């Protein structure tokens, strides 16, 4: 890994998951970050209204909240109705996200390097339009007839009017509640709760969500379903992860009965080099096993490595999906 990647990995996997002297020393920078963010949000951004209904799915932390599976599940639920649905995303880490025009993602044409890895996952289930300028992408989606826009991320963007805001709370316990860069928080949880209409929490975690910002909010639980759980049970793997909070993947794999021989963690959205992959897959050959990874990491692997790779396939379900769908369709009444 390059030095900057090693630094990113340290920040995401270590610095942001504990509170030490270094975190306290970074607090002045967090205050500056908070000041700039608040000034921009409240004084320099004005929400633009669109003909389509905009459903924002966001979080409070920088990565690792499990937002993408929620976006996918929401897209599947809404496509079962009579409204045309599209997803708008920034295409994070994709070179086309900074294009002067909004891009409609084409899985047969685009790669993760062009549109981003998470975008590639979502595009399997719905039309996706990307741009660093979210308003531009929404306008492009409307040209294709989208009546409901699922805005992937955007809680901290006040340039878009949201008809409904859904806050996804991470399944991992956030011990460090400092703002960036001293911690992983984009904004405080209470600030996000204030904006949210619906709050989605993991069903296997107990959250004592209280306070005035929860009054009138709908709280839904999401469950994680592993579609290939039986395939993983009892098998040995070399684990390869380049996502935020990779320890959650380790826990899930072991709960399913998978035997993890070695672990290789990289920064979120990391592009693996050929040299790194050769070392990892050679190690898998030594143990006579496959490399286990996530669906998000899988889309970043070259074709030559796919046959020797197992994927932890999972999706989420909500405890009252019909009620959620009705709440969104009621926006049209």
At 7 the three-state DSSP class reads: helix
* Of 71, 72, 47, residue with least CA distance to 59: 71
Check whether 85 is labelled as a binding-site residue. no
Check if the beta carbon of residue 277 is closer than 8 Å to that of residue 1. Answer: no
Check whether 99 is labelled as a binding-site residue. no
Check whether 66 is labelled as a binding-site residue. yes
**Angstrom distance (rounded) from CA 181 to CA 22:** 10
Q: 283-287: which pairs have CB atoms within 8 A and are 24 or more residues apart?
A: 283/238, 284/237, 284/238, 284/308, 287/236, 287/238, 287/261, 287/262
**Angstrom distance (rounded) from CA 133 to CA 119:** 15
**Angstrom distance (rounded) from CA 113 to CA 209:** 38
The dihedral through the CA atoms of 95, 98, 100, 103 has a sign that is: positive
Check whether 64 is labelled as a binding-site residue. yes
Check if the beta carbon of residue 171 is closer than 8 Å to that of residue 59. Answer: no
Check if the beta carbon of residue 120 is closer than 8 Å to that of residue 21. Answer: no
Element (H, E) at 28: helix 27-43
* Of 100, 95, 125, 88, residue with least CA distance to 112: 95
14, exposed or middle or buried, with CB in 10 Å at 0-12, 13-18, 19+? exposed
Check if the beta carbon of residue 171 is closer than 8 Å to that of residue 248. Answer: yes
At 99 the three-state DSSP class reads: coil
> From the annotation, which residues make up the binding site?
61-68
> From the annotation, which residues make up the binding site for ATP?
61-68
């Amino acid at each position: 890994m390059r030095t900057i990647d090693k630094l990113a990995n340290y920040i995401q996997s270590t610095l942001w998951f504990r509170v030490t002297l270094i975190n306290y020393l970074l607090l002045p920078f967090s205050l500056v970050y908070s000041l700039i963010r608040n000034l921009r949000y409240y004084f320099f951004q004005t929400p633009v209204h669109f003909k389509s209904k905009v459903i924002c799915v966001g979080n409070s932390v920088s990565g690792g909240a499990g937002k993408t599976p929620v976006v996918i599940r929401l897209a599947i639920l809404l496509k079962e109705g009579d409204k045309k649905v599209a997803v708008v995303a920034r295409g994070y880490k994709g070179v086309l996200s900074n294009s002067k025009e909004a891009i409609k993602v084409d899985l047969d044409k685009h790669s993760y390097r062009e549109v981003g890895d998470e975008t590639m996952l979502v595009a399997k289930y719905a039309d996706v339009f990307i741009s660093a300028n979210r308003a531009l992408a929404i306008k492009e989606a409307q040209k294709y007839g989208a009546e409901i826009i699922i805005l992937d991320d955007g809680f901290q963007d006040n340039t878009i009017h949201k008809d409904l805001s859904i806050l996804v709370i991470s399944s991992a316990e956030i011990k460090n509640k400092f703002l960036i860069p001293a911690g992983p928080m984009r904004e405080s949880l209470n600030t996000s709760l204030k904006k949210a209409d619906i709050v989605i929490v993991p069903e296997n975690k107990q959250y004592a969500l209280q306070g005035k910002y929860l009054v009138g909010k709908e709280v839904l639980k999401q469950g994680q379903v592993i579609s290939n759980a039986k395939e993983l049970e009892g098998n040995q793997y070399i684990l390869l992860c380049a996502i935020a909070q990779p320890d959650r993947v380790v826990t899930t794999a072991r709960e399913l009965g998978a035997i993890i021989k070695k672990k290789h963690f990289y920064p979120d959205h990391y592009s693996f080099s050929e040299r790194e992959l050769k070392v990892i897959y050679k190690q898998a050959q030594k143990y006579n096993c496959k490399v286990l990874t996530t669906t998000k990491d899988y889309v970043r692997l070259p074709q030559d490595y796919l046959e020797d790779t197992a994927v932890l396939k999972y999706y989420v379900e909500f405890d009252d999906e019909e009620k959620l769908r009705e709440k969104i369709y009621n926006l049209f009444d």
